[in-house]
A and B are shown apart, each in its own frame.
Chain A
C-alpha cells in the first residue's frame, strides 16, 4: 500500500541525565522533524504523543509537551506504549481520511526515575510484583528459558552486544558506542544470571519525532518518499506463566500481518535492513526468529554466521539498536526513524548500501509481551 508516507524524522542525541526538560526535548525533535520535512507547524493537522505516566513521573504526562509539539491547536491524543504504536496510531489517523499530515513525538527521561521500581510496577500487584520482578530479572528468566529450550549460548547472546555497540560507533545519536569483545560481555558484572551488565541496554534520555502524510500530500511535495508498506501488531498473555517465555507467538503473528500487507513472501531475501527492539542482547536473537529471518531456535546460528552484521545479507540494528540507546517510549520510534534514514540513503556511516525495504520493530510489556512491526519501502 502506498497510502501513508513518512516525510520527516528527527532524534535527539541519547544520553543519561540530559539536562533538558521533557518539553525542551520534545520541542527539539518537533522543530527538527518539521525542518527535515520542509514543513511548518501550520502544516501539521493532528498529533500523537507517546508519553507514559510512570516513566515521566506525572499523571496524564502527555499534557506536559502540548505546546512543545504544537499539539494545542490540533486534534491530539497520546499512546502510552512504545513509539511504534504511536506511529501506528498516526497512520490510522491518516487512513481514517480525516487528516493529511500527522506528527508523532515520543520522549523519555529514564534517568529521572528508578527503572527497577517503575518496571516492577508493570507486574500484577497481587501475584507477581512482590517477588521483586523488574525488566532485568524477568528478562533473565526469559533468556534462561530460551537458552535451555533451544541450546542458545551466552556467547551467542554476547555477540549481539558486541555487534550492536560497535555499530553504534557510526551513529551520532547513540548513547553507548563501544569497542568490546565477547569476553568483555561475559566477564561484565552479573546483574541477574544469565544477564550481565553488557547484555543490558543503558538508561537513556531522549526524544524522537516522525511526520507522516497521506499519499496526495507526499507525492505532491516529495520526489521519492518513504512509504509504509505494512504494519502488524499483536500481544501475548499478561502473566509470564501463561506464555512459554522461549516462544515468540505474538511477534510471529505481528510479522505475518505486516508481511501480508506489504506483500512480502521471503523476508530474508526481500528485506534489506532491520531495526529491532533489542532491550537485552538475547532479545535480538529471539526477534530474528519471530520475524522469520531464521527458524525457531536458529537465532544463535544466525548471529554466528555474521549474516546480521553490517556486511551480512541482512544487517540488523546498524544504528546500534536499543542496546546502545534506550529512551524507553522513544526507542521503537527511533527504530522507524533509523529505517527511514536507511531508505533515503542518508544513514551516513551506518548506511546499508542500496536499502529499498526496511523493517522496524517495537515491543511493550514484560519480556516482549506486545510487538509492533513496520515494513517500509521506497
Chain B
C-alpha cells in the first residue's frame, strides 16, 4: 500500500488515559478476606432456609432470597471440577503486572461448600491434571487481604 492511499484513508485516535477504580469489597467479602489474611481459613455463609453454603460469602441466597448471616468455615481441600491451562498473556489487575504464562485456572468445589470457587493450580502440564482430582489450598506466608495472593495457589493432593 502506497503512502498516497494511507493519507486519504480513515484515521484513528488512541485513548491512553487510566481509568482506575477502588472497589469496595462489601461486608461479606471483607469478612472472607479477613479470615484468609488473619487465620488462613476459608469462610462461606449458610442460608438459614435451604442450608446451602456459598463461598465466598454474600448477602442473599440465590434460591431463597433471604438474608444470610451465618458465616461457616469450609475446608481448605476440595475437588477439582474443571481446569484450563491458559497460554495467552494477561495482566494481573491488582498489581498491574503481566501474569506468567502458562497458568492453570481451576474450578474447585471445596469440602463443605455448595458453590464452586475459581483459583489457580500450580500444575501447568495438562497431562498431569484430571477433573475429579483432590486439591488443597496453599497459603502465602505474607498475607495482605487479597484472595489471589493470600491463597497463593492450589496444589494436587498426591
How many B residues touch A, CB cutoff 8 Å? 22
Measured between beta carbons, the chain A residues less than 8 angstroms from B65 are 40-41, 70
Interface readout for A94-112 with B: 1 if CB under 8 Å, 0 if not?
A: 0000000000000001011
Q: Say which one of A20-28, A263-271, A305-313, A347-355 lies at the interface with B.
A: A20-28
Measured between beta carbons, the chain A residues less than 8 angstroms from B27 are 19-21, 24
Interface readout for A27-41 with B: 1 if CB under 8 Å, 0 if not?
A: 100010000000011
Interface residues of B (CB under 8 A from A): 13, 15, 17-30, 58-60, 62, 65, 67
Interface readout for A108-143 with B: 1 if CB under 8 Å, 0 if not?
A: 010111100110110001100110000000000000
Q: Is there a chain B Cβ closer than 8 Å to A76's Cβ?
A: no
- Which are the 8 A-B pairs with shortest beta-carbon distances? A21-B26, A57-B21, A41-B65, A67-B62, A24-B26, A126-B13, A113-B21, A112-B21
Q: Is there a chain B Cβ closer than 8 Å to A244's Cβ?
A: no
Q: Is there a chain B Cβ closer than 8 Å to A72's Cβ?
A: yes
Known: A23-B58, A205-B24. 14 other contacts (CB 8 A): A17-B24, A19-B30, A21-B29, A23-B26, A23-B59, A23-B60, A27-B59, A68-B59, A68-B60, A72-B62, A112-B21, A113-B19, A114-B19, A126-B13
Q: Is the CB of A117 within 8 A of B24?
A: no
Q: Is there a chain B Cβ closer than 8 Å to A170's Cβ?
A: no
Measured between beta carbons, the chain B residues less than 8 angstroms from A77 are none
Measured between beta carbons, the chain A residues less than 8 angstroms from B22 are 111-112
Shortest beta-carbon distance from B77 to chain A in Å:
27
Q: Is the CB of A125 within 8 A of B15?
A: yes
Which partner residue on chain B sits nearest A18 by CB separation?
A: B24
Distance of A72 Cα from B63 Cα, bound (Å): 9
Measured between beta carbons, the chain B residues less than 8 angstroms from A54 are 19
Known: A23-B59, A72-B62. A117 touches B26 (CB 8 A): no
Known: A19-B24, A118-B19. A125 touches B59 (CB 8 A): no
Distance of A22 Cα from B58 Cα, bound (Å): 11
Which partner residue on chain A sits nearest B13 by CB separation?
A: A126
Known: A23-B59, A70-B65, A120-B17. A57 touches B23 (CB 8 A): yes
Distance of A20 Cα from B20 Cα, bound (Å): 19
Measured between beta carbons, the chain A residues less than 8 angstroms from B18 are 117
Among A31, A68, A121, A205, contact of B19 (Cβ-Cβ < 8 Å) = A121
Shortest beta-carbon distance from B22 to chain A in Å:
6
Q: Is the CB of A20 within 8 A of B62?
A: no
Measured between beta carbons, the chain B residues less than 8 angstroms from A121 are 17, 19
Interface-central residue, A57, A67, A126, A129, by most chain B CB under 10 Å = A67
Shortest beta-carbon distance from B8 to chain A in Å:
17
Q: Is the CB of B25 within 8 A of A21?
A: yes
Which partner residue on chain B sits nearest A20 by CB separation?
A: B26
Interface-central residue, B20, B27, B59, B67, by most chain A CB under 10 Å = B59
Measured between beta carbons, the chain B residues less than 8 angstroms from A24 are 26-28, 59
Measured between beta carbons, the chain B residues less than 8 angstroms from A22 are 26
Distance of A353 Cα from B19 Cα, bound (Å): 46
Measured between beta carbons, the chain B residues less than 8 angstroms from A109 are 24
Shortest beta-carbon distance from B147 to chain A in Å:
14
Distance of A72 Cα from B17 Cα, bound (Å): 35
Measured between beta carbons, the chain B residues less than 8 angstroms from A126 are 13
Distance of A50 Cα from B97 Cα, bound (Å): 33
Distance of A57 Cα from B15 Cα, bound (Å): 17
Distance of A23 Cα from B23 Cα, bound (Å): 12
Distance of A40 Cα from B62 Cα, bound (Å): 14
Measured between beta carbons, the chain B residues less than 8 angstroms from A20 are 24, 26-27
Measured between beta carbons, the chain B residues less than 8 angstroms from A17 are 24
Distance of A117 Cα from B18 Cα, bound (Å): 8
Measured between beta carbons, the chain B residues less than 8 angstroms from A118 are 19
Distance of A23 Cα from B17 Cα, bound (Å): 28
Distance of A335 Cα from B21 Cα, bound (Å): 27
Which partner residue on chain B sits nearest A124 by CB separation?
A: B13
Measured between beta carbons, the chain B residues less than 8 angstroms from A18 are 24
Known: A19-B30, A21-B28, A41-B65. A27 touches B19 (CB 8 A): no
Distance of A87 Cα from B59 Cα, bound (Å): 25
Measured between beta carbons, the chain A residues less than 8 angstroms from B17 are 117, 120-121
Measured between beta carbons, the chain A residues less than 8 angstroms from B60 are 23, 27, 67-68
Distance of A21 Cα from B57 Cα, bound (Å): 12
Measured between beta carbons, the chain B residues less than 8 angstroms from A68 are 59-60
Distance of A117 Cα from B20 Cα, bound (Å): 9
